């Protein structure tokens, strides 16, 4: 695929740079900001971004500590409110908010859904809608059955997967060979760095990864999405897995809490027999759900 997006950076805070990919959709109208999950980059959104760009201005950012964004080491640098400010800075720096009446649709996957939800609350009426892609509606400790320390211990890849670039690519392709293409390889390679010895290490900086996980576990979906300032439309895309019933119940409870708070209920869209990376496995359907929030 040759129609690659342009990459840009915006400066935030004390000069930290946040990178984003711009798929250069139509030059006017509401735009979409795509936010990746833990240890990923904006490239994971490529199958969806290509489809969206035919309809709306579309960008995909690298969260701080991930991809080509800076990885500050200050205390609190990965608090959810700070990450949400980065989202708004990228939206402004990209030109998506140049129109005073312009509004955004924020879309996040996994950890990115938590960041997107936090940004949507902070942006208020400037966020037209929010799409939670397999995350963002439940507390992580309840959803995973792990505390933050146990979760951190489970993150490292098996040594054989990180033994070489060939082994890593073979592992990633094996998740779903039918969907493997140049976009998937590019997204996978953006998450690792090859050492001189030929082994791989994660591209996400260790301090940023740990701080991001701790922020995830501090997230309160009810306070964020069903508080007194809850606004906007919310769509939740639920990937099927062995925790589907409990996750669906958590989503239904959150939706009911929104109704009590005077906000619109969450529209839930289940995806049967698929995995967490819905952008890879079901890109056309994910794109269609995002476009339901675009007038």
Mean pLDDT of 245-270: 93
What is the C-alpha to C-alpha distance for residues 143 and 120, in angstroms, rounded to an integer?
22
Taking only Cα atoms into account, the Rg of the chain, rounded to an integer number of angstroms, comes to 18
From the list 123, 117, 110, 112, the residue with the least C-alpha distance to 30 is 123
Give me the architecture of the 6-140+206-291 domain, per CATH. Answer: 3-Layer(aba) Sandwich (3.40)
Tens of pLDDT, residue by residue over 260-295, are 999 999 999 999 878 999 999 999 999 999 999 998
Please tell me the predicted confidence (pLDDT) of residue 243. Answer: 53
Please tell me the predicted confidence (pLDDT) of residue 2. Answer: 53
Whole-number percent of the chain with pLDDT over 90: 86
Please tell me the predicted confidence (pLDDT) of residue 29. Answer: 67
Residue 241: pLDDT band (50, 70, 90) is low
Evaluate the CA torsion angle 51, 53, 59, 62 in order and state its sign: positive
Q: How many helices (H) and strands (E) does the chain have?
A: 12, 10
Residues 6+ apart with CB under 8 A from 141: 147, 148, 217
What is the C-alpha to C-alpha distance for residues 272 and 154, in angstroms, rounded to an integer?
26
What is the C-alpha to C-alpha distance for residues 291 and 191, in angstroms, rounded to an integer?
28
Given phi > 0 = left and psi -120 to 50 = alpha, else beta, which region is 190? alpha
- pTM for this predicted structure: 0.96
Residue 14: pLDDT band (50, 70, 90) is confident
- What are the domain boundaries of the chain? 6-140+206-291
Q: Which of 100-104, 132-136, 278-282 comes out lowest in average pLDDT?
A: 100-104
DSSP 3-state of 163:
coil
């Amino acid at each position: 695929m040759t129609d690659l997006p342009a990459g840009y950076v915006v400066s935030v805070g004390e000069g930290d740079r946040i990178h984003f990919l711009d798929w250069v959709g139509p030059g006017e109208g509401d735009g979409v900001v795509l936010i990746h999950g833990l240890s990923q980059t904006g490239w994971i959104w490529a199958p969806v971004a290509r489809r969206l760009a035919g309809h709306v201005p579309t960008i995909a950012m690298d969260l701080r500590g991930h991809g080509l964004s800076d990885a500050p080491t200050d205390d609190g640098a990965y608090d959810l409110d700070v990450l949400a400010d980065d989202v708004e800075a990228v939206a402004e720096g990209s030109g998506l908010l140049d129109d005073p009446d312009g509004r955004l649709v924020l879309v996040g996957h996994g950890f990115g859904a938590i960041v997107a939800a936090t940004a949507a609350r902070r942006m208020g009426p400037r966020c037209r809608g929010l799409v939670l892609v397999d995350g963002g509606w439940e507390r992580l400790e309840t959803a995973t059955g792990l505390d933050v320390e146990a979760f951190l211990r489970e993150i490292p890849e098996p040594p054989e997967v990180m033994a070489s670039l060939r082994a890593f690519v073979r592992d990633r392709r094996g998740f779903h060979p039918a969907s493997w293409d140049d976009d998937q390889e590019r997204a996978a390679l953006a998450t690792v760095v090859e050492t001189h010895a030929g082994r791989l290490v994660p591209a996400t900086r260790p301090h940023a990864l740990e701080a991001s996980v701790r922020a995830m576990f501090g997230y309160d979906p009810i306070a964020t999405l069903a508080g007194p300032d809850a606004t906007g439309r919310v769509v939740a895309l639920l990937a099927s897995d062995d925790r589907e019933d409990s996750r669906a119940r958590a989503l239904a409870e959150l939706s009911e809490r929104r109704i009590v708070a005077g906000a619109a209920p969450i529209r839930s869209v289940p995806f049967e027999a698929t995995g967490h990376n819905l952008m890879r496995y079901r890109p056309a359907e994910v794109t269609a759900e995002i476009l339901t929030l675009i007038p």
